[in-house]
Structure 1
Amino acid sequence: MYPMKKLDQLNFANSFARLSETFHSRLAPTPLPDPYLVSFNADAAQLIDMDHGEAGRADFAEHFIGNRLLPGSEPLAMLYAGHQFGHYVQQLGDGRAILLGEVKNKAGESWEVQLKGAGTTPYSRSGDGRAVLRSSIREYLCSEAMHGLGIPTTRALCIVGSDQEVYRESIESAAVVTRMAPSHVRFGSFEVFYYRKQQAPIAQLADYVIERHFPHLAAAPDKYPQFLGEVVARTAQLMAKWQAVGFAHGVMNTDNMSILGLTFDYGPFGFMDSYNPGYVCNHSDHGGRYAFDQQPHIGLWNLTALAQALTPILAVDDANAALMRYEAIFGEHYLELMRAKLGLASARPDDAALVEKLLEIMQANRVDYTHLFRSLGNFDSAPGAENPRLRDQFIDRAAFDAWAEAYRARLQAEQSTDAERKERMDRVNPKYILRNYLAQVAIRKAEESRDFSEVERLLALLKRPFDEQPEMESYAALPPDWAQHIEVSCSS
């Protein structure tokens, strides 16, 4: 068995630090007093070959709050810009995150290790460079929840807290979440140089990303158009996955868009409760720019901004050709995912209409999105079966009955077997999601009494969102009334 490593044995490589300081600023994290471990994710530690027992070290928290540097790391803050709520902001950069470097594991994979909340950087503007316990718990849990759902995402290694006060809407305590990704390069990493009219760094950064993450393109004569094409495809597929699971990101600025198609920079996210295509999870998004049903459009809008930033190194016609593929890729992948959610084993021309009609009556009846699709696995397709537990989720039962007849006919047309269909559906329709009220309960316990048991409970639960977990049945219940009053914003 391959031996796991101690903290001072991690195999740091730090390729981004080898780029010139045009792309980053070198600096160490700002220390925080009296750090304590909030939670440790053994699954993420496995990705960098870290011995799980290292979390018990007396100095573990010191390393992952930034008070002591990990041997071999070369801390830096990355430069980027971006469009925020549709308006270009000329310099953003890591204002509170510091990249320690990348660790190469035994499989040859590289994982960048970043401390989020590690203090001010040259890109902090007027910010304090800190994260709070509340937002750190939300990002930590949601990144692992998304991984459990099979959606590309950054990962979270641990949260370390400190009693140092941080001022947001009220006084809160500081925390640092350690997140990991193959790369933290984002759309805005290219935009900053385009708007500065610096062509050389655009080509250098593109070559760097291609060499490390798209090596099959490195020798291609048209590597830049192909690179954009792959980013378009990954982003389209990511948007389809978000829509299929009912996830709203909340702040789809171009600086929050991963060049690798990962779910990135968790803030005021939300999983829908009752189905509402106009759902806005971000209390700061007064115009609804990043509403749930706008996400596919914004994905393309952001890709267009990236394509424009790449025009110094590729032809406009090539950029447009890559962007033209987006809608087809999104539509095909989304319909494929929704077919799976309905347990359909084959593709038929009327499937899109079947999906759209279900969503229409779910919206009209304010039916819970996750609960409905999970329970739909129990649909009895026998002629005349009434499915009372399903139809009782609808105020307009006649509307459900009409749809159920069309669904029954569709299942019979492909000779579907209920037991086999339910098994397929339960593999793609989660029973458990990170509803905002569940995160809020964990946050409240953590803030009020330094009780992190609910964080640990949710972390374990959300690793297996499709599995029946009888001892956790209450976590699959519909949200309580008070959950309607939870508000999350950009500070979340």
Structure 2
Amino acid sequence: MPFDNGFAELPPAFYTRRMPTPLPAPYFVAASARAAQLVGLDAADLAIDDFVAVFTGNEVPSRAQPLAAVYSGHQFGHWAGQLGDGRAILLGDIAGPQGRMELQLKGAGMTPYSRMGDGRAVLRSSIREFLCSEAMAALGVPTTRALVVTGSNKGVIRETMETAAVVTRMAPSFVRFGSFEHWRYRDKPEELRILADYVIKTFYPDLSGAPNPYLALLEEVTRRTGILIAHWQAVGFMHGVMNTDNMSILGITLDYGPFGFMESFDVDHICNHTDQGGRYSYANQVPVGHWNCYALANALLPLIDDQEAAQAALDVYIDAYGTKFDELLHAKLGLTTTHEGDRALADAMFQLMQDNKVDFTLFFRRLGDLRLDVAESEREAADAPLRDLFLDRPAFDAWTAQYRARLRQEGSVDAARRVAMHAVNPKYILRNYLAQVAIEKAQNGDYSEVARLLSVLERPFDDQPEHEAYAALPPDWAAHLEVSCSS
């Protein structure tokens, strides 16, 4: 494996060299062919013993320089001090057809930053991160990727005794907002500058010629973060733990833990059982994303050296988020033009969904099948698949009358609109109960459901009639599933 080690070229203060800690009798669980292509690998090869050993941390490729990075951060709005890669070890980066990707083993053993942790990940959380990383990529959401999951029967204590696993995740970089906060709060301006120069040179070279490259960096990261949050809101994704150490400097989704996809719509839904205060609810993701950018601005301020300019750079968040979410929402509604009343129409729709606790994904998917060319006498029957999601049918009828009028206003054609809407409104998402079924089978030694579910999630917009059950409303038992920061 032709590893380079770009991050390892930074001074030693930025990381600790650390070899992975081997696991006994590692085995293959699953691999993503799409992720493998990004680094020039064949997913079929990842199941052979040599690759299993490498991606468990039992063997280290000769050109790799394993390390754990240091960073700090705000957790649930409070300064947490030094954090760092407590259970993740970076092997290095590999050039692929779309650019360089860093490969990181999550669950590969203790590091100097493990604090009170054991440095391990469990099969349950590794499968969740693996599946969601690839599902988000297929949905078009900027994200880290997941290459492979390996496991071991070694026991790991969480709420109960579980078994160990390692997920190999990939990204152009794992530098976080908290990576900059670490040096700012330690009053280390030289290290802060070194890190900023590395990020600009490696990932934002166009910014190097700006009058103030550090200000330009803040503005670009803020813009990307606003766009990222718009993608989350548009697919109903909730991260669950938007701490500054979990925010990527590249504007990609980072660190999948207690995440969830919206099912029964509730704007205040909290997917993380640990988040008792609701800081990271669906509605709060937008302002928290902005707050996190403020934290980054504070970290970069010694380099920017202009508080008013930094404040102005943060203002791009609102425009970036608003513009992208408006674009995504118009596409989800099948609207190709923008009219003055669109905001009111969308607000009424979300309120109707809230009042009726309508499944987020099914609503938008079935909305694409709504017909304009239907006789009034046949309308109720034609609308039934969508209408039956609502308890308040008269309210649904009133809203769809407004929606149909808006579609006619722009001369919408049913067939073309259906194709366009189904191309942006997924039929399949990673519902918690689907992940749980795959996890329970894997815990019993059957990994086939992980592979099957991955294949469904890789084509979220396709009808896939053979997998119709994966698009159904969750069963009653799913209401009792809880995920927390240990997930």
1:134, 1:401 → 2: CA distance?
43
Map of 1:128-277 to 2, 5 A cutoff?
Answer: 128-277=118-267
- Which SS does the other structure have where 2:13 is aligned? coil
- One of 33, 46, 49 as aligned partner of 1:42: 33
- Which SS does the other structure have where 1:118 is aligned? coil
Match of 2:447 in 1: 452
- One of 16, 19, 23 as aligned partner of 2:10: 19
- One of 70, 89, 109 as aligned partner of 2:61: 70
8 A Cα contact 1:147 1:153, kept in partner: yes
1:312, 1:216 → 2: CA distance?
22
Compute the displacement of 1:348 (Å).
1.2
Map of 1:475-486 to 2, 5 A cutoff?
Answer: 475-486=470-481
Compute the displacement of 1:335 (Å).
1.2
8 A Cα contact 1:139 1:267, kept in partner: yes
- One of 302, 321, 325 as aligned partner of 1:330: 321
Match of 1:418 in 2: 414
8 A Cα contact 1:33 1:162, kept in partner: yes
* Counterpart residue identity of residue 52, structure 2: A
* Alignment coverage as a number of residue pairs: 481
Match of 1:431 in 2: 427
Deviations 1:300-341 (A, max 9, x none): 010000000000000111210111121122112111111100
8 A Cα contact 2:155 2:164, kept in partner: yes
- One of 79, 99, 112 as aligned partner of 2:70: 79
Pair 51,476 (structure 1): closer, same or farther in 2 beyond 3 Å: closer
Q: Which deviates the most, 252-261 or 222-231?
A: 222-231
8 A Cα contact 1:12 1:103, kept in partner: yes
- Which SS does the other structure have where 1:33 is aligned? coil
Compute the displacement of 1:389 (Å).
2.4
Deviations 1:69-109 (A, max 9, x none): 022110000110000001111100000000001111245x1
* Counterpart residue identity of residue 438, structure 1: L
Compute the displacement of 1:33 (Å).
0.5
Match of 2:109 in 1: 119
| Alignment of 1:356 onto 2:352 | no
1:136, 1:185 → 2: CA distance?
21
- Which SS does the other structure have where 1:127 is aligned? coil
- TM-score by length of structure 1 reads 0.96
- One of 74, 86, 91 as aligned partner of 2:82: 91
Compute the displacement of 1:202 (Å).
1.1
Match of 1:4 in 2: none
Deviations 1:248-303 (A, max 9, x none): 00000000000001111000000011110011000000101100110000000100
Match of 2:287 in 1: 297
Deviations 1:192-246 (A, max 9, x none): 0000011111111111011111111112222111111110110000101100100
Q: Which deviates the most, 84-93 or 390-399?
A: 390-399
1:52, 1:329 → 2: CA distance?
37
Compute the displacement of 1:51 (Å).
3.3
- TM-score by length of structure 2 reads 0.97
1:35, 1:267 → 2: CA distance?
23
* Counterpart residue identity of residue 464, structure 1: R
- One of 463, 467, 474 as aligned partner of 2:462: 467
Compute the displacement of 1:53 (Å).
4.2
* Counterpart residue identity of residue 94, structure 2: V
- RMSD of the TM alignment (CA)? 1.0
1:313, 1:157 → 2: CA distance?
36
* Counterpart residue identity of residue 297, structure 2: A
2:272, 2:43 → 1: CA distance?
36
2:280, 2:303 → 1: CA distance?
30
| Alignment of 1:281 onto 2:276 | no
Compute the displacement of 1:56 (Å).
4.0
| Alignment of 1:401 onto 2:392 | no
8 A Cα contact 2:234 2:328, kept in partner: yes
8 A Cα contact 1:11 1:105, kept in partner: no
1:189, 1:284 → 2: CA distance?
24
Match of 2:437 in 1: 441
8 A Cα contact 2:32 2:148, kept in partner: yes
8 A Cα contact 2:46 2:148, kept in partner: no
* Counterpart residue identity of residue 313, structure 1: L
* Counterpart residue identity of residue 108, structure 2: A
Match of 2:94 in 1: 103
- Which SS does the other structure have where 2:224 is aligned? helix
* Counterpart residue identity of residue 219, structure 1: G
For structure 1, the 5+ residue unaligned runs are 1-9
1:274, 1:467 → 2: CA distance?
22
For structure 2, the 5+ residue unaligned runs are none
